[in-house]
Structure 1
Amino acid sequence: MSIIGSQLKPFTTQAFKEGKFLTVSDTDTLGKWSVFFFYPADFTFVCPTELEDLADNHDTFGKMGVEVYSVSTDTHFSHKAWHDSSPAIGKIRFTMLGDPSGAVTNNFGVMREGQGLADRATFVVDPQGVIQLMEITSEGVGRNAMELLRKIKAAQYIAAHPGEVCPAKWEEGEETLAPSLDLVGKI
């Protein structure tokens, strides 16, 4: 069942960010765009390649006013150990949420039944706490930060321009569409 358009559910959890432990809750995300980037587990294979890709694009996310939260069911202690031991994960400057209780993962509906691991899933939440985008891939399919950035730009554009929509492969600065009776059957 899709959760697009639903409100972010309450949560509070421990996190690791830039050498420090902190507490993060759903209220910390309000007022800015947020990415919740779920992955199965620390110290694995595809996950570090995805997280490194996000880390390499951290400044771009920041310029767009987007806060990134990676999430796995590992603890914040495990995130720190992985950050300290992996060159790829050592690049991360965004918040790594620990979710050993599974509360955050279950809030988004991406807990693997009977495994205690998150699906490989991405959610974009707007400043009002409403889920605007979601993507879930199979275990072996890694995600691409550039494509995520493109989708966020589109979501931000339509949020700022009611009545317009972004067509397939839309890039910032390209033409959008204004749905109307006149367009029916003309595209």
Structure 2
Amino acid sequence: MGIIGSSIKPFKATAFKAGEDFYEVTQEDLSGKWAVFFFYPADFTFVCPTELEDLGEKYDMLQNMGVDVYAVSTDTHFSHKAWHDTSDKIGKLKFAFLGDQMHTLANNFGVLREDSGLADRATFVIDPDGVIQIMEITCEGVGRNANELTRKIKAAQYVRANPGQVCPAAWEEGSETLAPSLDLVGKI
């Protein structure tokens, strides 16, 4: 796929966010910030609200980490508002929902299901330079875990702030990191 390390492509989408008027979001709005694009197949579905609710429970923490969250489906911003207004789980969410009915974002990220016009269940983390650092794509029936996403973002932020350091498997904030060198080859 070759998407890790690539720059986010230009886009313009209409957003719905609770308590706000509809507004436009472009790649320029991401400049200088961390962002999560959380693609899901469709509004008014089954696994999607459980994932979005789980992500919503981490939203304040992510905001404190300097991370903007964008939920994205190929539904319209009007559909996002209707879902928000009629679902208990979705109604409590504070992050933005982007309408992608023209499939610009789903195509840009390579997650459009051509046969159905829906997006895959996919997550992308973009750094402040607009570079994709993390991606996760799961099959239709497997929901994602916001705890693991948050852990990965903390690791990506640590690596960015500490050049020459890497985070080993299952790294948690405050744990030891590694400094790759010839001295470590064959010793780990």
The TM-score, its normalising length taken from structure 1, stands at 0.99
- Is the counterpart of residue 154 in structure 1 residue 155 in structure 2? yes
Which residue in 2 is equivalent to 1:15?
Answer: 15
CA-atom RMSD in angstroms: 0.6
Residue 29 of structure 1 deviates from its aligned partner by 0.9
For residue 45 of structure 2, give the secondary structure of its aligned residue in structure 1: coil
The answer (yes or no) to whether the contact 1:50–1:144 under 8 Å persists in 2 is yes
Q: Do the aligned residues in 2 keep the contact of 1:11 with 1:25 (CA within 8 Å)? A: yes
**Which runs of no fewer than 5 residues in structure 2 stay unpaired?**
none
CA contact (8 A) 1:56 1:91 kept: no
Residue 57 of structure 1: CA displacement?
1.2
Which residue does 2:41 correspond to in 1? 40
Using the alignment, how far apart are the partners of 1:59 and 1:42 within structure 2?
23
Question: What count of residue pairs does the alignment treat as equivalent?
Answer: 187
Match of residue 57 from structure 2: 56
Residue aligning to 1:68: 69
Distance 2:100 2:143 in 1: 21
SS at match of 1:88: helix
Q: Secondary structure at the match of 2:101?
A: coil
Equivalent residue, structure 1, for 2:128: 127
In structure 1, give the amino acid aligned to 2:130: G
Contact 1:53–1:144 under 8 Å retained in 2 = yes
Q: Give unmatched runs, 5+ long, in structure 1.
A: none
Deviation of residue 30 (structure 1)?
1.0
Corresponding position of 2:99: 98
1:113: which partner in 2? Answer: 114
2:174 and 2:91 mapped to 1: Cα distance? 34
Shift in Å at residue 91 of structure 1?
A: 1.2
1:41 CA displacement: 0.2
**TM-fit CA distance, 1:175:** 0.3
- Structure 1 counterpart of 2:90, which letter? I
Could you tell me how far apart the structure 2 residues matched to 1:32 and 1:112 are? 29
Q: For 2:18 and 2:184, locate their aligned partners in 1 and report how far apart those are by CA, in whole Å.
A: 50
In structure 2, C-alpha distance between the alignment counterparts of 1:92 and 1:8, rounded to whole Å: 25
Identity of aligned residues (%): 71
Question: What's the offset of the Cα at 1:2?
Answer: 2.5
Normalising by the residue count of structure 2, what TM-score does the alignment of the two structures yield? 0.98
Query: Which amino acid in 2 is paired with 1:99?
Result: D
* 1:8–1:129 Cα contact (<8 Å) kept: yes
| Contact residue 70 and residue 95 of structure 1 kept, 8 A | yes
State the distance in 2 between where 1:28 and 1:65 align.
Answer: 14
Structure 1 ranges of 4+ moved more than 3 A: none
Structure 2 Cα separation of the partners of residues 25 and 87 of structure 1: 29
- The residue type paired with residue 144 of structure 1 is N
Paired with 2:3 and 2:122, the residues of 1 have a C-alpha distance of: 13
Q: Following the alignment from structure 2 to structure 1, what is the Cα–Cα distance between the partners of residues 99 and 64?
A: 25
Distance 1:172 1:144 in 2: 17
| 1:26-67: CA deviation from partner (whole Å, max 9, x where unpaired) | 111111100000000000000000001111111101110000
